[in-house]
Structures are given as C-alpha cells and as structure tokens.
Amino acid sequence: MEHQYMAIDKTKFFSIIKIIAFLIYFAYFAICNSKFNIYLPLHPKGIDSKKEDISTLKKNLPHKISYALIGGSNVQRGLSGEIISSDSNICINYGIDDENGGTTKYFNWLDSMVTANVVVYSPIIIWNDGNNFLGEIQNSKENYFPKISILSQIAAFFSLQKNPDPLNFNSFGDMTDYSCHQNMVNFKINTRSFTLSNDSITKEIIERVNKLKEITKTSKVLVRVAPIYIFDRNKENYMRLMKKRIKILKNAGIIVIENSFTSSDRTLFCDEIHPNQKGRTFFSKELKKALLNYKTAH
C-alpha cells in the first residue's frame, strides 16, 4: 500500500515538473511575442536602436550618403557598408533581419530616414519560386517562435554582466559581432513553379522599387540579386532561370546589378542564403566594383 502511494507521488512529482517546464516555455514564448522582448539580453538590438545608431551617424556626416543598402538578412549579414565605402562615397547598410517582420513595416521605418544618391535593393523574394518559403510569408509564419533558446538567454545574461554594452552595429550600419554556425543545405527551387511565378514575383519587386523611389526621393534604385549557395551541377540551370526573371525586370525599366548571384563555394556561406564573414567581404567587394562601374557609366 505504501509503495502504491509512493508510486503515485513519483508520477505526480514528474508531472508537476513537466507542467512547470511547459509553463516556463509558454511564458518565454509570450514574452518573445510581446513588447517586452526588447529587454531580453540576447534579443538583437531592435529596429529602433539601429535607426538611432544610423541617425546619430548621419548627423555627423559631412555630406550626403552615396549608397544605401536596403534588404533583409542577406544585406544585414551579407554586405558591409564599411567595405563598400570609400573616401568620396559613404555607404550605409540599412539591412534588417527578416526586414523586421515585413516589407511594409520595414519601408515605414526607412521612410524619411534614407537619403542617398543610389539605393541598392537586395530582395530575397527574387529567389521565391511561388513556394511561399522566402520573403514575407515566411516571416509571418515563423516569427512567433522564439529565435533564441532560454539557455542562450541565460548564457548571454551572464556574459552581459562582464560586457554590459555590446555594440551590434558599427557606424556604417554593419553588424559588428556577426558569427554563424555553418548549416549548409543545397538551395532548392521548384523549377516549374519558379517559371510560373516569374510574373507575380517581378511585379512585386517592381512595386517595391517604385515605393523605394518615393521613400528615398531618388530615381536611382538598383536591384541586386542576393547571392545563394548551390551545388555546382545546379548552377547553370538556376542561372538560366534567374536570367529570365532579370530580363523581365530590365524590360520594366529596373536596373539590375550584374553580380555573381550563385556560388558553389561553401566557405563563403553560413547557409544557403546567408554569407559568412568571408562571404560578406567577398560579395561587398564585388558590389563595390559594380557600383563604381555603374557610377562611371552614368
């Protein structure tokens, strides 16, 4: 009889621990999706703090910004304003991970802040094959889940005690503490639906470019195809497909930067769509060269 009671108690005890674990995670989930998430140690500096950083920089700048880099994580992580800048041309990286939850919200943030001679827009949606897994729909689908584990938050809390003010962005808007764990998968598109969705995707990009022209008050909005990692044997096929899409954009009067938009060198990437530090340097130098060519030609 006593044993039976003990067994029940043990079961109850373990159930209570499970419930506590569930409730803790549920609370964490709720915090991450509320306005309080900014107080979590590992939450990347919010959109407002980047805005603040860049605004401070702009106040101290001697002249108008030459280049503004616009886009999501492929810009924030994959390009460096510092590398593209030179003595006569200042380049600012306005890229924000996931475009902070959607293009409308992101463009509202950019509004009245970005003034540049040339705007480089790098929409990852250009690789969308109608599959809804790149671009905004992904954001709305996945943003609710915490992006950082509780354990990482705890670790960050203790490391923040030692270093209370980590700098996430430098004065060019680049991430300064950017590191990533390699997680390589072949970038996969459904070639059939890629071709079928050419019109809808290019239409969306054209609309966004027009909106950017309004926001930045410049007619020079260039579109850059975000580079992706793909296996060598898929390269030719994907490039052929992308060239069709670029042609549609060019026919609509959009200027598309000629850069390498696929690479099979995995030392340049964290995952299929995000360059690592080495890749960031490589692709930034490439973009710098392309922008100089553009400037010379125009």
Partner 1 sequence: MFLTLAIPIALISLLVAYAKNRYINFISPYLFFFTGPVLTYFGFINTLTGFNGIDSNKIYFGITFYTVFIAYHLSNKRNEIKKTPVNFIISVLNPLYLFTGPIPNKIINQFRIITPKIILKRLIFIHSDLLLGILFAFILAPVFKQFFYLKESITIIDIFLFGIVFELYVYFNFAGFSFIAAGLMRLLGIKVLQNFNQPFSAKSIVEYWQRWHISLSFILKKLFFEKIKSQLGLYITVFVVFLASAIWHGISYNFIIWGLFHSLMWCMAHYFHKQKFKVLNYFVLAYGIIVGRVIFSEIDSNFLWTKMKIILNIYNWNLNTEMEIPNMGRIGTINFIIASIIISLEVILPRFGFKNYNYSHLKSHFISCLIALYICLVLFNRNGTPVYGDR
Residues that bind partner 1 (CB under 8 A): 10-11, 14-15, 17-19, 21-22, 24-25, 129-133, 142, 145-152, 181-186, 188, 190, 192-193, 231-233, 266
Minimum distance of partner 1 from residue 84's CB (angstroms): 28
Residue with Cβ nearer partner 1 (30 or 184):
184
Minimum distance of partner 1 from residue 5's CB (angstroms): 15
Residue with Cβ nearer partner 1 (33 or 112):
33
Q: Measured between alpha carbons, how far is 174 from 78 in angstroms, rounded to an integer?
A: 9
Q: Measured between alpha carbons, how far is 279 from 178 in angstroms, rounded to an integer?
A: 12
Q: Measured between alpha carbons, how far is 212 from 94 in angstroms, rounded to an integer?
A: 13
Minimum distance of partner 1 from residue 1's CB (angstroms): 20
Minimum distance of partner 1 from residue 44's CB (angstroms): 13
Residue with Cβ nearer partner 1 (18 or 244):
18
**CB environment 262-279: b (16+ within 10 A), e (fewer):** bbeeeebbbbbbbbbeeb
Minimum distance of partner 1 from residue 53's CB (angstroms): 26
Residue with Cβ nearer partner 1 (1 or 185):
185
Residue with Cβ nearer partner 1 (156 or 255):
156
Q: Return the beta strands (E) in the chain as ranges.
A: 65-71, 91-93, 116-122, 221-223, 228-229, 255-256, 262-263
Q: Which whole-number Å values give the CA distances from 179 to 76, 205, 276, in the listed order? A: 12, 30, 7
Decide: 130 and 193 in contact? Cβ < 8 Å: yes
Amino acid letter, 284: S
Using only the alpha carbons of the chain, give its radius of gyration: 22
Minimum distance of partner 1 from residue 122's CB (angstroms): 21
Residue with Cβ nearer partner 1 (55 or 132):
132
Terminal CA-CA length for the chain:
91
Minimum distance of partner 1 from residue 10's CB (angstroms): 7
Residue with Cβ nearer partner 1 (27 or 160):
27
Minimum distance of partner 1 from residue 207's CB (angstroms): 23
Helix axes 198-216, 103-110, angle to 10 degrees: 20
Q: Which residues pair with 116 in a beta bridge?
A: 65
Residue with Cβ nearer partner 1 (85 or 100):
100
DSSP 63: S
Instruction: Using the Cα atoms of residue 213, residue 214, residue 216 and residue 218 in order, give the sign of their dihedral.
Output: positive
